[in-house]
Amino acid sequence: MLSLDDFFLYLSIFISLPSFIVYTLQVGQLFGTNLFTILSILFSVFEHFMVLFTLLTLTMDIEFLIYFHIGS
């Protein structure tokens, strides 16, 4: 069974991985290849969606905890 701490650890690694790839691809932009530019744009868009999804999930969790605390 996956604990909550492990879940957030894997989630943070999953979120930080695209930014690491983007930084390595931006080094490739120095050589002027179009493939690196396209891939870095795709990964940066993906990273922004992952951050928004994580914030939305955390907001929903906080709202659920507040609702549970007020309801009890």
Containing domain of residue 39, as a range?
A: 4-71
| Spans of the chain below 50 pLDDT | none
pLDDT the model gives residue 28: 64
Entry field: residues in the chain = 72
pLDDT the model gives residue 72: 53
Query: At a CB cut-off of 8 Å and minimum separation 6, what does 30 contact?
Result: none
Domain count, the chain: 1
CA distance 23 to 10: 20
Query: At a CB cut-off of 8 Å and minimum separation 6, what does 22 contact?
Result: 40, 43, 44, 47
Which of 55, 23, 53, 22 lies closest to 39, judged by CA?
Answer: 22
User: What pTM was computed for the model?
Assistant: 0.35
